[in-house]
């Protein structure tokens, strides 16, 4: 009642004075497009609403508008949208960013980070290095290096200790294939499956077979592409032997990430690779949902010692392969930066990482306890390197994956290519993937390796190698 009386009095005074009351300003609308951030996901909508409310309380009134794009074919659909002139303020790229950067569509993050309070200190070491080389994408997460996991009860059933060597992995995959651990009476479980290609296998087997980086020196001391090396040949021969023994899923070439997951949950594959700690816990949560009577947990498997070494794949620090970008066309860059700066703050990270009180966690005074729903929760925007969580909710497997990455960090010698090499890169990649599949499927024999190398060189590999030597010889 008092509020209405005051408003009425103000209206009379304003009219008497011959002036109008200023209208309340509308919130600034920030349009955000990001893979798997959708208006059809209630949690996504609820999350951005919480960010709006928190920022408004701090004096920044924004409305976050989610731009829906399907996850399948996201990169291509995003490129089509941007090229049509529809350019959101904040854009998540998973490929296709270089073309936009060349056209001046993307802001330089190095111009904005110094203006932030929290975001500048939230970066991981590899973020800092990548921004030096390519300042248009920001992906504040631990490095994404796929690591293998297995159901803990299946590992026990195998009778094989957690593998430490390449031979140990073969023994484990064999035990899974022969063991009928899903109890369906059939030997129809593969030891391991991957999605789309062999990159996930590479994450733990590259070092084992001596593939130490993107570029390596041959016996003559010359830089060559690792993919044309003897070490790569030995590794691919190993993959082919896995498939020949029925240990590696031959459908990997047509298996997308969702199908890969389903094969894991349904017992058609014993080992899969999680690309991050959060993904590993999502796998664990979904596995328990699929088998509530067994309530299985997951065990992380270590990178194996092989004939030439041990460790995780060398990490490319030339640029972010994915990440967030601010459009130069945006009229609300400051508000976009304020949003991300808040998410990087302790208050923002508590929301981003823990989810919602009463759902992903409960709170009793200062004591926080996570619920089962935390297993399928994931950060939508960023994971601050310097944030200390008030409660540890990650599984042993997820925590172990972060420790393995920290212990095995090795920067790659890859670099950013000039734009006129794009055709060569695409062509050689297609040649490589096609031949790898032929080798693994048995369509081609390993004694045809030189034929592959010749075709790779003709497709652009020779041109690329000449340029790589000018870059690497100067380092």
pLDDT in tens, 61-82: 999 999 999 999 999 999 999 9
Q: Give pLDDT, residue 376.
A: 82
Checking if the pLDDT of 58 tops 60, the result is yes
pLDDT score, position 2: 32
State the pTM of this model.
0.78
Whether residue 100 has pLDDT greater than 60: yes
The predicted-structure confidence for 219-268, as pLDDT tens digits, reads as follows 999 999 999 999 999 999 999 999 999 999 999 999 999 999 999 999 99
Residue 116 has pLDDT above 70, yes or no: yes
Instruction: Give the sheet arrangement for strand 62-67, strand by strand.
Output: 62-67, 28-33, 90-93, 323-326
Q: Give me the long-range contacts of 102-108 (CB less than 8 A, separation at least 24).
A: 102/419, 104/328, 105/327, 105/328, 105/329, 106/136, 106/137, 106/325, 106/326, 106/327, 106/328, 107/136, 107/325, 107/326, 107/327, 107/328, 107/330, 107/333, 108/135, 108/136
- pLDDT tens for 155-181 read 999 999 999 999 999 999 999 999 999
Identify the residue with better confidence: 12 or 417. Answer: 417
| CB-CB contact of 398 with 277 (8 Å) | yes
Q: For residue 111, what pLDDT is reported? A: 98
pLDDT at 17 over 70: no
Is the pLDDT at 1 greater than 50, yes or no?
Answer: no
Give me the pLDDT at residue 419, please: 85
In this prediction, residues 403-409 reach a mean pLDDT of 89
Give 29's pLDDT tier (boundaries 50, 70, 90): very high
Note the CATH number of domain 28-143+319-385: 3.40.190.10
Any idea which fold 147-314 has? D-Maltodextrin-Binding Protein; domain 2 (3.40.190)
Which residues of the chain form CATH 3.40.190.10?
28-143+319-385, 147-314
pLDDT at 13 over 60: no
pLDDT category of residue 24 using cuts at 50, 70 and 90: low
pLDDT(6) > 50: no
HSE-CB for 147 with a 13 A CA cutoff: 29
SS3 readout for 300-314: ECCCCECCCCCCCCC
The predicted structure's pLDDT at residue 475: 63
Q: Is the pLDDT of residue 45 over 70?
A: yes
Q: Which whole number is the average pLDDT over 105-109?
A: 98
Confidence class of residue 3 from pLDDT cuts 50, 70 and 90? very low
Query: What is the pLDDT averaged over residues 327-338?
Result: 98
pLDDT digit string, tens, across residues 411-465:
899 998 998 999 999 999 999 999 999 999 999 999 999 999 999 999 999 999 9
Mean pLDDT of the chain: 93
Q: Which residue has the tokens 């009379």?
A: 12
* Reported confidence tier of residue 4, pLDDT bands at 50, 70, 90: very low
375: confidence class by pLDDT, cuts 50, 70, 90: confident
> Using CA atoms, how far apart are residues 473 and 86, in angstroms rounded to an integer?
43
The mean pLDDT value for 39-43 works out to 97
């Amino acid at each position: 009642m008092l509020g209405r009386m005051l408003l009425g009095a103000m209206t009379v005074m304003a009219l008497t004075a011959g002036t109008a009351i200023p209208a309340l300003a509308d919130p600034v609308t920030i349009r955000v497009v990001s893979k798997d951030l959708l208006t059809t996901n209630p949690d996504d909508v609820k999350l951005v609403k919480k960010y709006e409310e928190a920022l408004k309380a701090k004096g920044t009134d924004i409305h976050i508008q989610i731009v829906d794009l399907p996850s399948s074919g996201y990169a291509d659909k995003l490129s089509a949208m941007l090229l049509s002139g529809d350019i959101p303020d904040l854009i998540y790229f998973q490929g296709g960013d270089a073309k936009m950067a060349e056209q001046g569509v993307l802001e330089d993050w190095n111009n904005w980070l110094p203006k932030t309070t929290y975001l500048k200190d939230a970066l991981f070491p590899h973020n800092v290095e990548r921004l030096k080389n390519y300042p248009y994408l920001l992906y504040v997460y631990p490095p994404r290096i796929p690591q293998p996991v297995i159901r803990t009860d299946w590992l026990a059933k195998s009778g094989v200790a957690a593998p430490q060597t390449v031979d140990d992995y073969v023994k484990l995959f064999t035990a899974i294939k022969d063991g009928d651990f899903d109890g369906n009476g059939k030997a129809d479980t593969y030891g391991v499956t991957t999605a789309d290609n062999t990159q996930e296998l590479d994450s733990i087997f590259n070092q084992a077979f001596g593939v130490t980086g993107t570029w390596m020196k041959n016996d003559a001391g010359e830089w060559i592409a690792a993919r044309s090396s003897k070490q790569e040949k030995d590794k691919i021969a190993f993959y082919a032997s896995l498939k020949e023994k029925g240990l590696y899923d031959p459908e990997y070439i047509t298996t997308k990430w969702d199908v890969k997951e389903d094969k894991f949950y349904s017992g058609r594959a014993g080992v899969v690779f999680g690309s991050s700690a959060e993904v590993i816990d999502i796998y664990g949560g979904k596995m328990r949902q699929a088998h509530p009577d067994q309530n299985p947990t997951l065990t992380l498997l270590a990178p194996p010692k092989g004939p030439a070494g041990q460790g995780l794949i060398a990490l490319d620090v030339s640029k972010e392969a994915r990440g967030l970008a601010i459009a130069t066309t945006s009229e609300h860059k400051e508000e976009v930066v304020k949003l991300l700066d808040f998410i990087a703050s302790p208050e923002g990270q508590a929301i981003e990482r823990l989810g919602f009180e009463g759902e992903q966690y409960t709170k009793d005074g200062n004591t926080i306890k996570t619920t089962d729903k935390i297993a399928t929760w994931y950060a939508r925007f960023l994971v601050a390197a310097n944030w200390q969580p008030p409660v540890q909710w990650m599984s042993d497997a997820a925590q172990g994956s972060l420790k393995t990455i920290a212990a095995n960090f090795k920067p790659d010698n890859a670099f950013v290519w000039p734009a006129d090499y794009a055709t060569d890169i695409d062509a050689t990649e297609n040649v490589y993937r096609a031949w790898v599949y032929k080798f693994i499927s048995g369509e081609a024999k390993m004694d045809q390796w030189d034929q592959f190398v010749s075709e790779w060189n003709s497709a652009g590999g020779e041109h690329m190698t000449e340029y790589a030597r000018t870059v690497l010889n100067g380092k």
